[in-house]
């Protein structure tokens, strides 16, 4: 009987092609309603890229976390990790010697591997973000957006499927802030909370 209960609660997921992956994502919102008490386990994944596999693993893990706060913080951390792994290699902002395309074009004074000067820059020569700010990670300035096709927040599946519209707006507004401050806004997301967010002047 115990086995039967386990079988009932565990839904195995097999993905062997992008067609199956896309079908899984297209049904995910329905699965969240039908199987909200159950858990998914990844049985077999093949014929998709390592990045897509990593993203799918995060989506499955997020599905299996039933506590709301834990899921919000898991989605936050896994989205940060995913962006760090995938987009750093792509170098969308075309950093050279720690200066991005905009900094080189406008010949401004910044030379820190980030958009601008920030109190959260840490490490040798203040070149690393100590804030783990998801808003900054998904932010692209108008200069770069006019010149290149850049990603959208919804391209990151854990954000797309597990954050509400209010939470996505909070991510966009909470830039240049630390992880714990942003998480607190995400836990308590509401229109009133959004209206209270102070947007930095130099965005
Ligand atoms: S978003 Fe704009 S200012 Fe920020 S690093 Fe990219 S190109 Fe530079
Ligand atoms: S919080 Fe944003 S602006 Fe500040 S160092 Fe981190 S990524 Fe750069």
Q: From ligand 1's centre to the CA of 14, what distance in Å?
A: 39
The whole-number pLDDT of residue 3 equals 40
Average pLDDT over the chain reads 88
pLDDT band with cut points at 50, 70 and 90 for residue 187 = very high
Ligand 2 pocket, residue 134 CB under 6 Å: no
Ligand 2 pocket, residue 83 CB under 6 Å: no
The whole-number pLDDT of residue 7 equals 45
pLDDT band with cut points at 50, 70 and 90 for residue 123 = confident
- Choosing from 93, 125, 136 the residue with most ligand 2 atoms within 8 A of its CB, the one to mutate for a pocket test is 136
Q: Do 53 and 45 form a contact (C-beta atoms < 8 A)?
A: yes
Tell me what percent of the chain is helix, strand and coil, each rounded to the nearest 5: 55, 10, 35
Helix (H, G, I), strand (E, B) or coil at 67: coil
Q: Do 179 and 132 form a contact (C-beta atoms < 8 A)?
A: yes
- Choosing from 102, 138, 172, 202 the residue with most ligand 1 atoms within 8 A of its CB, the one to mutate for a pocket test is 102
pLDDT band with cut points at 50, 70 and 90 for residue 1 = very low
> What is the average pLDDT across 147-161?
92
Q: Which residue has the higher pLDDT, 31 or 87?
A: 31
Ligand 1 pocket, residue 101 CB under 6 Å: yes
Q: Residue 164's CB: how many other CB atoms inside 10 A?
A: 12
| DSSP H or E run through 125 | none
Ligand 1 pocket, residue 150 CB under 6 Å: no
pLDDT exceeds cutoff 70 at 120: yes
**Residue the block writes with tokens 């049985």:** 43
- Choosing from 97, 101, 109, 110 the residue with most ligand 1 atoms within 8 A of its CB, the one to mutate for a pocket test is 101
Interstrand relation of 121-122 and 128-129 (parallel, antiparallel or unpaired):
antiparallel
Helix runs in 35-100, H state only: 50-64, 68-90
Whole-angstrom distance, CA of residue 74 vs CA of residue 58:
9
Residue 116 Cα: closest atom of ligand 1: 3
> What is the average pLDDT across 151-162?
94
pLDDT exceeds cutoff 80 at 106: yes
Please give the model's pTM, rounded to 2 decimal places: 0.88
- Tell me 116's DSSP state: S
The whole-number pLDDT of residue 119 equals 86
């Amino acid at each position: 009987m115990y086995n039967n209960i386990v079988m009932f609660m565990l839904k195995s997921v097999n993905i062997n092609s992008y067609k199956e992956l896309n079908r899984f994502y297209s049904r995910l919102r329905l699965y969240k309603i039908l199987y909200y008490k159950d858990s998914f386990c990844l049985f077999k994944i093949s014929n998709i890229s390592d990045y897509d596999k990593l993203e799918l693993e995060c989506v499955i893990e997020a599905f299996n976390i039933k506590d709301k706060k834990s899921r919000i913080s898991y989605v936050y951390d896994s989205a940060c990790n995913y962006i760090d792994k995938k987009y750093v290699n792509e170098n969308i902002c075309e950093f050279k010697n720690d200066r991005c395309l905009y900094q080189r074009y406008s010949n401004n004074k910044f030379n820190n591997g980030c958009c601008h000067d920030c109190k959260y820059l840490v490490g040798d020569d203040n070149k690393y973000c100590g804030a783990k700010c998801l808003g900054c990670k998904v932010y692209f300035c108008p200069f770069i957006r006019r010149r290149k096709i850049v990603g959208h927040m919804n391209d990151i599946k854990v954000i797309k499927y597990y954050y509400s519209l209010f939470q996505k707006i909070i991510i966009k507004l909470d830039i240049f802030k630390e992880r714990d401050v942003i998480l607190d806004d995400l836990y308590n997301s509401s229109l009133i909370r959004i209206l209270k967010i102070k947007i930095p002047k130099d965005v």
